[in-house]
Amino acid sequence: MSETIGVESRGDWVEITLNRPEKLNSFNEEMHLALRAALESAAEARAVLLTGAGRGFCAGQDLGDRDPAKMEGTPDLSQTLTNFYNPLVRQIRALPCPVICAVNGVAAGAGANVALACDIVLAAQSAKFIQSFGKIGLVPDSGGTWSLPHLVGMARAKALALTAEPLPAETAADWGLIWKALPDDALMPEARALAEKLANGPTHGLGQIKQALHAAITNTMDEQLDLEAETQKRCGAHPDYAEGVAAFLQKRAPNFGAKP
Contact segment (CB under 6 A) with ligand LHQ among 43-51, 125-133, 198-206, 234-242 equals: 125-133
Q: Which amino acid is at 35?
A: L
- Pattern 20-59, binding to ligand LHQ, x per CB under 6 A? ---xx-x--------------------------------x
Q: By CB under 6 A, how many residues form the interface with ligand LHQ?
A: 23
**In this complex, which beta carbon is closest to ligand LHQ, that of residue 52 or of residue 60?**
60
Q: What is the CA radius of gyration of the chain?
A: 19
Count of CB atoms within 10 A of residue 64's CB?
10
Cα–Cα distance for residue pair 181/121, rounded to 1 Å: 9
Cα–Cα distance for residue pair 166/64, rounded to 1 Å: 22
**In this complex, which beta carbon is closest to ligand LHQ, that of residue 12 or of residue 62?**
62
Cα–Cα distance for residue pair 102/125, rounded to 1 Å: 11
CA of 243: how far to CAs of 119, 231, 247, in Å? 25, 18, 6
- Closest distance between ligand LHQ and the C-beta of residue 233, in Å? 40
Indicate whether 130 belongs to the interface with ligand LHQ (CB under 6 A). yes
- Closest distance between ligand LHQ and the C-beta of residue 109, in Å? 3
Contact segment (CB under 6 A) with ligand LHQ among 33-41, 130-138, 153-161, 182-190 equals: 130-138
Length of the chain measured in residues: 260
**Rounded-to-5 percentages of helix, strand, coil across the chain:** 55, 15, 30
CA of 185: how far to CAs of 64, 101, 104, 144, in Å? 32, 16, 10, 28
- Closest distance between ligand LHQ and the C-beta of residue 134, in Å? 10
CA of 88: how far to CAs of 37, 104, 117, 210, 259, in Å? 10, 20, 9, 17, 24
Indicate whether 63 belongs to the interface with ligand LHQ (CB under 6 A). yes
Indicate whether 141 belongs to the interface with ligand LHQ (CB under 6 A). yes
Indicate whether 160 belongs to the interface with ligand LHQ (CB under 6 A). no
Task: Return the axis-axis angle of helices 239-249 and 203-216, rounded to nearest 10°.
Answer: 110
Contact segment (CB under 6 A) with ligand LHQ among 92-100, 105-113, 183-191, 225-233 equals: 105-113
Contact segment (CB under 6 A) with ligand LHQ among 43-51, 108-116, 171-179, 215-223 equals: 108-116
- Closest distance between ligand LHQ and the C-beta of residue 226, in Å? 37
- Closest distance between ligand LHQ and the C-beta of residue 242, in Å? 46
**Given the rule CB under 6 A, which residues bind ligand LHQ?**
23-24, 26, 59-64, 66, 77, 80-81, 106, 108-110, 130, 132-133, 136, 138, 141
